Structures are given as C-alpha cells and as structure tokens.
C-alpha cells in the first residue's frame, strides 16, 4: 500500500528516494482538508487568478482544468491544481454562502445550523427568536382547558428559545 486508505495521502517507505516530495504532497492535502474552507461551490470552471492555498468545490458541468472533477475539492498550489475526492463526513466552510457544506457520501449538502436558523433539506424550519407573547387572560368566556393548552405551548416555545420570555 503506497497511500492512506481514506484520503489517499502518499506514504513514505524505508530507503525511498526524495521522501520530501511525498511528505510535502501529504502536507499540502492535509492543509487543504483540515478545518477546510472553500471560496465557493458554484463554479464549474477554474477562477482566473487563484491564490496559492485557495480551494473550491467543483460544480456540475466542470470544464477546463476542472473537467472530470465534479464534487472534488480543487486546491490551487504552486504546482497547479490538486484535486481531492470528497469522502462521507467531510465538512467545509463556504465563503460565499456564509454557511458550511458537508459531503454525505453522495452529494454536498448545506449544514443544518446556520446564522439565520435551523435548516432541514435546505429549508429553514426554525428562524430567529421572536418577541415575547403574553399568556392568555381576560375575555368574556373563560375556557380553562384552552388557556391551559395555550400556556403549555407558550412554555414549550420559550423553553426551546423560539420566543422570548
């Protein structure tokens, strides 16, 4: 075996010539993946003037130097483009989306927790906390069961932080 099983990082061997090449290649890939950050996941062609160390997730319809690399993490290095095929569980922050993406083994998906709420299947299901709602009181007809139910709902919403107390 001449590479690691998960990320295909090159391994060193006893008596190997020019070990620094293998070692530097492994460090370059680790640097791209460890607490990863990509500029975008929406480009299908390489950007015009990348900076060494910048990464992108290659979008569908990849062309040019990115042809055949859809979903890979593209890393610009001093030696040109390096590509890392994603593995299930890989998470990266995406600069132009202000939230992260994770690879589920089949596709890139948006993180559930974002600055503006909680998402399921990229649909926001919980947003920012709302203003306080006062408990029911008064009225011409008092329905104890309805008030009790409303009070329980309000208590649950406050307990989850969805509305202020």
Let me know whether 5 and 30 are in one domain: yes
Domains: count for the chain: 3
pLDDT tens across 68-78, in order?
Answer: 999 999 999 88
Q: Considering Cα of 136, then 139, then 144, then 145, what sign does the dihedral take?
A: negative
End-to-end CA distance of the chain: 60
Q: State the pTM of this model.
A: 0.68
Which structural domain range is residue 14 located in?
1-34
Output the pLDDT for position 51: 93
Q: In what order do the strands lie in the sheet with 99-103?
A: 37-38, 91-94, 99-103, 108-110
Confidence band of 158 (pLDDT split at 50, 70, 90)? confident
pLDDT tens across 112-140, in order?
Answer: 988 888 888 888 888 887 788 887 777 77
Confidence band of 105 (pLDDT split at 50, 70, 90)? very high
Q: Which residues does 76 contact at the CB level (< 8 Å), separation at least 6?
A: 50, 51, 52, 53, 54, 55
Say if 78 falls within a structural domain.
yes
Say if 17 falls within a structural domain.
yes
Let me know whether 47 and 22 are in one domain: no
Let me know whether 28 and 40 are in one domain: no
- When the pLDDT of each residue in the chain is averaged and rounded to a whole number, the result is 87
């Amino acid at each position: 075996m001449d590479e690691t099983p998960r990320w295909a990082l090159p391994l060193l061997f006893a008596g190997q010539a020019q070990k620094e090449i293998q070692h530097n290649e492994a460090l370059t890939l680790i640097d791209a993946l460890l607490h990863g950050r990509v500029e975008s996941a929406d480009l299908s062609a390489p950007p015009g003037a990348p900076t060494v160390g910048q990464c992108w997730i290659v979008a569908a319809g990849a062309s040019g130097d990115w042809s055949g690399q859809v979903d890979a993490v593209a890393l610009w290095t001093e030696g040109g483009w390096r590509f890392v095929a994603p593995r299930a569980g890989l998470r990266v922050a995406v600069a132009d989306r202000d939230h992260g993406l994770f690879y589920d083994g089949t596709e890139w998906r948006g993180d559930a927790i974002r600055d503006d709420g909680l998402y399921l299947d990229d649909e926001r299901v919980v947003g920012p906390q709302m203003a306080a709602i006062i408990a029911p009181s008064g009225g011409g007809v008092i329905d104890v069961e309805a008030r009790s139910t409303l009070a329980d709902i309000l208590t649950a919403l406050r307990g989850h932080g969805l509305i202020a107390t």
